[in-house]
Amino acid sequence: MEYVIEMLNITKEFPGIKANDNITLQLKKGEIHALLGENGAGKSTLMSILFGLYQPDSGCIKIKGQLVKINNPNDANRFKIGMVHQHFKLVETFSVLDNIILGTEECKNGFLVKENARKQIMILSKQYNLNIDPDAIVKDITVGMQQRVEILKMLFRDNEILIFDEPTAMLTPQEIDELLKIMKSLAREGKSIIFITHKLNEIKMAADRCTIIRKGKYIDTVNVQNVSKEQLSRKMVGRDVNLVVEKEICEPGEIVLKVENLNYSKRGVSKKILSNINFEVKQNEIVCLAGIEGNGQSELIYAITGMLNGYRGKITLNNKDITNSSIRQRNLEGIAHIPEDRHKYGLVLDYNLAENMILKNYFTRDNQKWGFLRFDYIYKQAQILIKNYDVRSGQGVYSKVHELSGGNQQKAIIAREINSNCDLLIAVQPTRGLDIGAIEFIHEQLIQYRNNRHAVLLVSLELDEVMSISDRILVMHEGQIVGNLDPKKVNAEELGLYMSGSKRGVNDEK
């Protein structure tokens, strides 16, 4: 039998939108099959149908030629289908071991017995090079390790069909290389993999075939070897995408943000998390904080935005000391923030799009009259914003944000923050999870923002992004700024040396 899974003519409608419109996807045994499509194209919906989370309105699923009905994830498990979701589904307060065995626990005389499971997990971990500490608590481990836990969960259940929904979006470049190697070795062992990603490089590196969907419709299935990245992107977006960022030279203006002697330590941890940080961001500048994840970038951003307590040093915005200001005061003083964790800090998932657009300014005169929200005005403004930023959803501004695709949630935050027109925009991983068309658009927006005498502080793990849109790169390593670099005078390899702490210094006289 050629195909292990066939999803044939699948259609699924949500209020106001056909998320899947007659889509067919056929997966061969032992292949890595990429599923490519714009934000909101319907990829997660299709995979949720395969995993039993949604029922299709029409169409059918065959496993090894047999017609099956997958009513829920337990059925999916019985058919040996496993999924690593875009947002992991782990119990943060449980250990790694407990998360992996959850739902399959062995009991003896009324007590849990974990020794067999532990042994089996350690064998799998060694076999597939999935390094984990079984006794670590999930909330304390890195995102990369959490993902390895999710993969081990599938292998522990002996899953044969593995769905990876944007698995690299949260990983560092090193972790991405490692994951692609692991996926290839899983395929060699006979596992069949569906790989959702927006990154064409990754498809070229790891996938055998690729199915492309656009706006809910099937476009094509191709052998990856036979197509270029440009051809893939054209099939996905329906037009040519300019992968090269164009940016004119801009003379930096006044200092907007100044950080002086910033230090931060965690109680009980001897090593400083932030050590003597000093830098400035000026008008007309995009300054990028680059570094391997976990080297203090998050804490530094939390300190600047007011989300961190207990740091020492001084932070000034437009010459005003904001060191002790609250988050809202800093907002009002002129800091916009696209946060790293969009669900935790960027959106209220049960509010609709329009309500999310005013989270930071619902109390202003524009949005309120006599103490009541001016809904007419608020909805009209939100409509303009989602149109300008191409935020797609079934019911427009009335859609609850949890109904939006991941990429569209991200675009909604970007729309709100850029529209706030603050003097300083802090953008942390702004293009994470976005398709290449959307990335092109967001890069243009960030550059335009900087051209309008604003300052942008960008945090990005995407080296291409760092090199192409920043005016200056500050490299962080172990809580310190170890490099102040001019992107025109540095290449990716050299940047890597700074990021790993092997090189320090300044290559920029600004």
Ligand X SMILES: Nc1ncnc2c1ncn2[C@@H]1O[C@H](COP(=O)(O)OP(=O)(O)OP(=O)(O)O)[C@@H](O)[C@H]1O
- Binder to ligand X among 32, 39, 90, 389 (CB under 6 A)? 39
**CB nearer ligand X, residue 150 or residue 403:** 403
Region from 32-40, 322-330, 367-375, 464-472 binding ligand X, contact rule CB under 6 A: 32-40
SS3 90: coil
**CB nearer ligand X, residue 405 or residue 480:** 405
Q: Taking CB under 6 A as the criterion, which residues in 334-353 touch ligand X?
A: none
Neighbour count for residue 235 (Cβ, 10 Å)? 18
The separation between CA 229 and the C-alpha centre of its own chain, rounded to angstroms, equals 21
90 is a site residue for ligand X (CB under 6 A):
no
How far apart are the C-alpha atoms of 283 and 96, rounded to whole Å? 46
- Two tokens, residue 109: 């005389």
- Binder to ligand X among 45, 77, 356, 381 (CB under 6 A)? 45
Q: Which of 319, 364, 362, 359 is nearest to 342 (CA)?
A: 359
- Binder to ligand X among 10, 25, 41, 358 (CB under 6 A)? 41
40 is a site residue for ligand X (CB under 6 A):
yes
- Two tokens, residue 304: 């600047």
Closest distance to ligand X from the beta carbon of 213 (Å): 7
Confirm if 453 and 485 have CB atoms less than 8 A apart. Answer: no
Count of chain residues binding ligand X (CB under 6 A): 20
**CB nearer ligand X, residue 42 or residue 56:** 42
Closest distance to ligand X from the beta carbon of 436 (Å): 11
Residue 277, beta-bridge partner list: 262
Q: Which of 60, 166, 245 is nearest to 433 (CA)?
A: 166
Closest distance to ligand X from the beta carbon of 404 (Å): 5
CA contacts within 13 A on the Cβ side of 140: 10
- Binder to ligand X among 96, 210, 236, 404 (CB under 6 A)? 404
How far apart are the C-alpha atoms of 181 and 168, rounded to whole Å? 12
**CB nearer ligand X, residue 39 or residue 331:** 39
Region from 36-44, 121-129, 135-143, 259-267 binding ligand X, contact rule CB under 6 A: 36-44
Region from 64-72, 362-370, 390-398, 480-488 binding ligand X, contact rule CB under 6 A: 390-398
392 is a site residue for ligand X (CB under 6 A):
yes
Mutual orientation of helices 173-188 and 143-156 as an angle, nearest 10°?
10
Q: Which of 309, 321, 283, 281 is nearest to 459 (CA)?
A: 281
Q: In the 3-class helix/strand/coil scheme, how is 37-60 assigned residue by residue?
A: ECCCCCHHHHHHHHCCCCCCCEEE
19 is a site residue for ligand X (CB under 6 A):
yes
**CB nearer ligand X, residue 245 or residue 349:** 349
- Binder to ligand X among 10, 37, 247, 445 (CB under 6 A)? 37
406 is a site residue for ligand X (CB under 6 A):
yes
Number of DSSP helices (H) and strands (E) in the chain, helices first: 16, 25
Closest distance to ligand X from the beta carbon of 441 (Å): 14
Q: Which uninterrupted H or E stretch holds 144?
A: helix 143-156
**CB nearer ligand X, residue 43 or residue 209:** 43
Instruction: Tell me which residues touch ligand X (CB under 6 A).
Output: 14, 17, 19, 37, 39-45, 392-394, 403-408
